[in-house]
Structure 1
Amino acid sequence: MSSNVHYIPYGKTGYFNQLVIDFLGEHPNIRPFYSYSPLKPDFEAAIRAKQQQPMNRELLVSALQQQYAGLEQDTAVQNNISSLLQPGTFTVCTAHQPNIFTGYLYFVYKILQTVKLAGELKQQYPQYNFVPVYYMGSEDNDLDELGSIYLDGKTITWQTGQKGAVGRMRPEGLEALIEQVQYGIGYGEYAEELIALLKQAYLEQENIQDATLFLVNQLFGKYGLIVLVPDNPAFKKQLIPIMEEELWHHTSQGIVAKTIAQISQHYKVQANPREINLFYLAAGIRERIVKTGDKWEVLNTNLSFTAAELKKELHEHPERFSPNVILRGILQETILPNLAFIGGGGEIAYWLELKQLFAHHQVPFPILLLRNSFLFVDSASSERLQKLGLTATSLFEDTETLVNNFVQEHTNAALCLKEEYAAIEKLFDELEAKAKSIDITLVASNASERKKAVKSIGKLEHKFLKAEKKKFAWQTEQIWQLKQRLFPADSLQERKENFMPWYVKEGPAFFDRILAATIPVTDQFCIVVEE
């Protein structure tokens, strides 16, 4: 399928907040809170920093081999896992929760950006190896978000009474959802293959994290992508010293609070630290740990620990302790020989709070890269754009503004009353001069009348435009339909839609199209227009 690719700066889309724009622009208000430029990152410096960090590569490879045991592995995956034993191998990483059926479109974009970045780094630094990693946030318990997808204009939701970490939940009741998906995606060359894959993933695996591992491996294994599930005692064991400090000394709260106090002078804060930034994780439970008197309690349960009991629990069962958003990145960067983290605007915002916490724990702070964003314009919408004479980038304008601009551009009537405004201003300038010569107190009256006159001209201008828009009813409706189709619920397509409607038509070629348009280090939003 042939496509035209266009780019528009993130700052001109209207869909990204000022913190993200300033992050990309390295504004002085936010620049102190990250280590490397997001547009000209110094990968050599990141490599040197990571080489100084103690790294248990044998443990990482062993854990990954156990994780992948029984899974069909592409040779590229096997080679990448083995290469992690070598001190010259580094990772580039993205992270996301195990949303059912992958959740949002941007899940795919993040993964493919890590793949593209790893490939480009290998070309730039052939003496090293670079492995793309998807770090699964399987301990998240936000089922309201993770258990739904948007498909065919409807939200499909997994109804389950299970609680705790979503990754540990049993995939019960998902057969009915897969039937809804089958109906929602319709017919396509790859529809049957995709539904079979979903059934293998969600009806034959033990839990959601295993299902997600299976699905992502099947879809992206050929690119050498490694999926890492951190819900593993071996990985958590490496974090015990940091978790001890968190439980007994509450270090994170003080350090991050100071950073937040500085950031909040200019931006909205993304995440606030708690006294203890750890959850307790067990069957059906992921609840906060709080200190009450001389005991540590697990909220909403009957569980509590003395200091001795807690220390014993932590050392014998580190897998029962789950870092929240403040400590999650520390665990990631402790497990992996990682250079760069690719995240969305919200993820970048909370990472910006953590630089000093990383420094305190002597963990190198990674290069932060904003994930790529795409708008896919289907062939039918592309045809409408051409008939209307609109550009792909103009779609990011407010709908009403887009309609008004279209009418003003195509009408034969003089809807913009610039000459009339100028005439009014000239008249009242003359009247003001006369007022001053007669009685200076009349100047205020003149100013009041000027304001009324300008307002009246504005009302007439609005009525002229409104009347003229009726002559363009068909075009106006087409513009509104285009916007609703490409920006569902007035949101970016990638924050609402799922990858499956594209995949059923194109199969793996859809991913290759994304890869071709991906620029791993950029400040440009990508628009892909089908011909």
Structure 2
Amino acid sequence: MKLIIRGGKIVRLEQHTQPFAPLFYKKYLEDTSSLSSFFHYEWNQKALNKRLQETDFSKTKRTELVNVLTNYMSKFGLSETSNKHLEELKDNGVVVIGGQQAGILTGPMYSIHKAISVIALAKQQREQLGVPVIPVFWIAGEDHDIDEINHVYIERSRKLQKLVYPEKSKIKKIASDSIFDKQIMDNYLTEIFQSLPETLYTKELFTKVMNHLENNFTYTDFFAALMNDFFQEEGLLLIDAAYEPFRKLESEYFQLFVENASDLAEVVFEKEREFEKAGFGTPIQTKESAAHLFYVEAGERFLLERKDGMFIHEAKGLSFTKDELMSIAEKHPEKLSNNVVTRPIMQEMVFPVLSFIGGPGEIAYWGTLKTAFELFRMKMPVIMPRLSVTVVNTKTQTLLEKFSFTIEDVWNGIVEDTKLQYINKHRNERIPQLIETMKQDLAANYAKLEELLIDDNLLLSPLVQKNLRYHESQLTFIEHAIDDTFLGKLDASIHRYDRILMELTPNGGLQERIYSPLQLLNEVGTDFIKELLEIPYEFNGNHHVVYI
């Protein structure tokens, strides 16, 4: 436990072993050296030093890259620190980079944690290595699975509810081309804010969000505007993967992907088989026929495969020769888009990457790409696990202390078990037992009735069974009514347990994977993210718990 100053206030910081960690991520955190067949570096200071010393960053098109970044970010506003970082990047700076899909209201809180991770590691390495290290956030605007980003979770009637942006599209456009109906989005955001408790900060937060909506009508622009608002003073550089000038910068790299498509598919397929044999599953589920590129048409993405020397998408009726796709890569790179395999490689080609910040799922699929990087005569960067954070507000702290629970008790199911024990302790077990006996007696008597009717050749079995089901349903109805009334009597006490669980393990997982920052900003103020940046985080694979 550590006491720290945040926003002029003393708060408590704890570190714990990563809860809910998937098998491969747990292995990566605890024993990276055993995974050397999947990565070029471990994730420590020695590896970062080595990465800087042995990597040739001279091939980066620095001037062109900085021009693209400057033009993209100018819409959202460039701070003094952002401009400084752009100048450093043009010269000899290296980057710490991470990214995320463009969720509404920034998506889950771990989007914020990724940005904080990128900024914090860049600051630490700037001091440690003595060179400019610049934080960059790659927005996955080319993603087209809108269902993953079109919602937020809110609390209503003491239950967690997924509130989905209601406008539906007949086609799945990429996030950067998915334009909101401003009035529908306005109403949607208003509904979200109306579900929040009114605080000193609600009006200011609502105004901030709605102001950004005024000029940003796509998922990606709205996301970028908010992220820039939160992090521009830190000089976080943003780029949308689908930004057309960025695509043009990537032209020669798309040509490399087309030229080497067969070899790339082969090495990734073999590496994923090795990954699977090691017991870690198939995070990419790649095919030997994969092209690892999408073709973009009217904002839709179509994944290409290789067949009989052609690049095709059968359902759409797309078919290109290698020369045709090479020509598209050269003259119209905006018509191409990376997939899960080529995006990390493209990132390495475009940016001078010291370290990539990744979450559990990302690190797993990066583990299948070592030979893919080698195919293009590159090494993977140092892959640093992102910071994972749970924030415990004062009300939840009070409840934890009242019941003598720790945060680990919540993660380990002890709180849920204690809640069930409390309910069972107060339940009169004779009532459900009696109802069950009544059901059994009822069934037995109806069976006897049916036998007698059959003996008298009275064919009424369907009517008997229907009547039995009716009476059984009535007993079930009264059983549920008794249970609801019983739980209602215990409601105040049960709610305390539910409050802890909903705050700290919503939907049975980590808080950061469900809640957007909206709830916290509404509760403690719009400067809360800046205050989170003041915390001296350690990149050690632990989960950070901040008590505010």
TM-score bin, normalised by smaller chain: 0.7 to 0.9
Task: Give per-residue Cα distances to partners, 1:262-311, cap 9 Å, x unaligned.
Answer: 21122122112342110011323111123344543345434433444333
Q: What letter is aligned with 2:343?
A: R
Give TM-score scaled by structure 2 length: 0.78
- Provide the C-alpha distance between the structure 2 equivalents of 1:479 and 1:186, rounded to a whole number of angstroms: 20
Deviation at 1:196, TM superposition (A): 2.4
Task: Give per-residue Cα distances to partners, 1:236-262, cap 9 Å, x unaligned.
Answer: 345445534543542222111221122
The answer to whether the Cα contact below 8 Å between 1:242 and 1:361 also exists between their aligned partners in 2 is no
Q: What letter is aligned with 1:177?
A: Y
Q: What letter is aligned with 2:24?
A: L
Pair 268,309 (structure 1): closer, same or farther in 2 beyond 3 Å: closer
Deviation at 1:140, TM superposition (A): 0.4
Q: Does 1:165 align with 2:165?
A: no
Deviation at 1:202, TM superposition (A): 2.8
SS at match of 2:543: strand
The answer to whether the Cα contact below 8 Å between 1:20 and 1:349 also exists between their aligned partners in 2 is yes
Q: Which residue of 505, 509, 516 maps to 1:491?
A: 509
> Within 5 Å, which residues of 2 pair with 1:456-467?
none
Counterpart for residue 272 of structure 1: 285
Decide which moves more: 297-306 or 21-30. Answer: 297-306
Counterpart for residue 431 of structure 2: none
Deviation at 1:387, TM superposition (A): 1.5
The answer to whether the Cα contact below 8 Å between 1:165 and 1:284 also exists between their aligned partners in 2 is yes
- Provide the C-alpha distance between the structure 2 equivalents of 1:96 and 1:279, rounded to a whole number of angstroms: 19
- Provide the C-alpha distance between the structure 1 equivalents of 2:44 and 2:543, rounded to a whole number of angstroms: 14
Deviation at 1:232, TM superposition (A): 3.7
Counterpart for residue 462 of structure 1: none
SS at match of 1:3: strand
Deviation at 1:53, TM superposition (A): 5.0
Counterpart for residue 236 of structure 1: 247
Counterpart for residue 357 of structure 2: 342
Give TM-score scaled by structure 1 length: 0.81
- Provide the C-alpha distance between the structure 2 equivalents of 1:356 and 1:480, rounded to a whole number of angstroms: 47
Pair 294,252 (structure 1): closer, same or farther in 2 beyond 3 Å: closer
Q: Does 1:80 align with 2:85?
A: yes
Counterpart for residue 155 of structure 1: 162
Q: Which residue of 139, 142, 153 maps to 1:139?
A: 142
Decide which moves more: 33-42 or 113-122. Answer: 33-42
* Residue segments in structure 1 that go unaligned for 5+ positions in a row: 408-471
Deviation at 1:359, TM superposition (A): 1.3
Counterpart for residue 108 of structure 1: 112
The answer to whether the Cα contact below 8 Å between 2:416 and 2:497 also exists between their aligned partners in 1 is no
Q: What letter is aligned with 1:135?
A: W
Counterpart for residue 418 of structure 2: 403
Q: Which runs of 4+ in 1 moved over 6 A?
A: 404-407, 472-477
* Residue segments in structure 2 that go unaligned for 5+ positions in a row: 1-8, 423-489
The answer to whether the Cα contact below 8 Å between 1:399 and 1:483 also exists between their aligned partners in 2 is no
The answer to whether the Cα contact below 8 Å between 2:389 and 2:512 also exists between their aligned partners in 1 is yes
Pair 517,28 (structure 1): closer, same or farther in 2 beyond 3 Å: same
Pair 273,516 (structure 1): closer, same or farther in 2 beyond 3 Å: same
Identical-residue share of aligned pairs (%): 20
- Provide the C-alpha distance between the structure 2 equivalents of 1:330 and 1:25, rounded to a whole number of angstroms: 26
Pair 262,99 (structure 1): closer, same or farther in 2 beyond 3 Å: same
Q: Does 1:250 align with 2:262?
A: yes
Q: Which residue of 44, 51, 60 maps to 1:55?
A: 60
Deviation at 1:504, TM superposition (A): 2.0
Q: What letter is aligned with 2:283?
A: Q
- Provide the C-alpha distance between the structure 2 equivalents of 1:503 and 1:477, rounded to a whole number of angstroms: 24
Decide which moves more: 504-513 or 262-271. Answer: 504-513
Deviation at 1:110, TM superposition (A): 0.7
The answer to whether the Cα contact below 8 Å between 1:399 and 1:479 also exists between their aligned partners in 2 is no
The answer to whether the Cα contact below 8 Å between 2:79 and 2:235 also exists between their aligned partners in 1 is yes
Pair 489,232 (structure 1): closer, same or farther in 2 beyond 3 Å: closer
Counterpart for residue 129 of structure 2: 125
Q: Which residue of 190, 198, 210 maps to 1:199?
A: 210
Q: Over the residues paired in the alignment, what is the CA RMSD in angstroms? A: 2.5
Decide which moves more: 384-393 or 185-194. Answer: 185-194
Pair 50,175 (structure 1): closer, same or farther in 2 beyond 3 Å: farther
Pair 360,218 (structure 1): closer, same or farther in 2 beyond 3 Å: same
- Provide the C-alpha distance between the structure 2 equivalents of 1:232 and 1:72, rounded to a whole number of angstroms: 17
Deviation at 1:48, TM superposition (A): 2.2
Q: Does 1:261 align with 2:273?
A: yes
